[in-house]
Structure 1
C-alpha cells in the first residue's frame, strides 16, 4: 500500500510539472504575440 502511495504521488508531481510547463509556454507565447503586434494592444484599449 505504501508503494502504491509513492507511485501515485510521483505521478501527480510529474503531472503538475507538465501542467506548469504548459501554462508557462502558453503564457510566453501570448506575451510575445501582444509584445510584437501593436494592433492587438490597441484593440484591447
Structure 2
C-alpha cells in the first residue's frame, strides 16, 4: 500500500505556518488538520 502524502500546496502552507512566516486563516487551519487526519493510518485516538 502506498504511503499517503500531503500535496505540495499543503506542505508549503505548513512550512510557512511553522516557521512563523504566516498566520493561517481558519480555512487554512482546517485544510492542515484534514491533511494530517487523512494520513492517520491507525484511524482513531486509540487507548490513552
- Whether TM exceeds 0.5 here: the answer is no
Measured against the shorter chain, the TM-score band is 0.3 to 0.5
Query: Normalized against structure 1, the TM-score is what?
Result: 0.39
**Structure with the greater relative contact order (CA < 8 A, sep ≥ 6): 1 or 2?**
2
Q: Which has the higher helix share?
A: 1
Query: Normalized against structure 2, the TM-score is what?
Result: 0.37
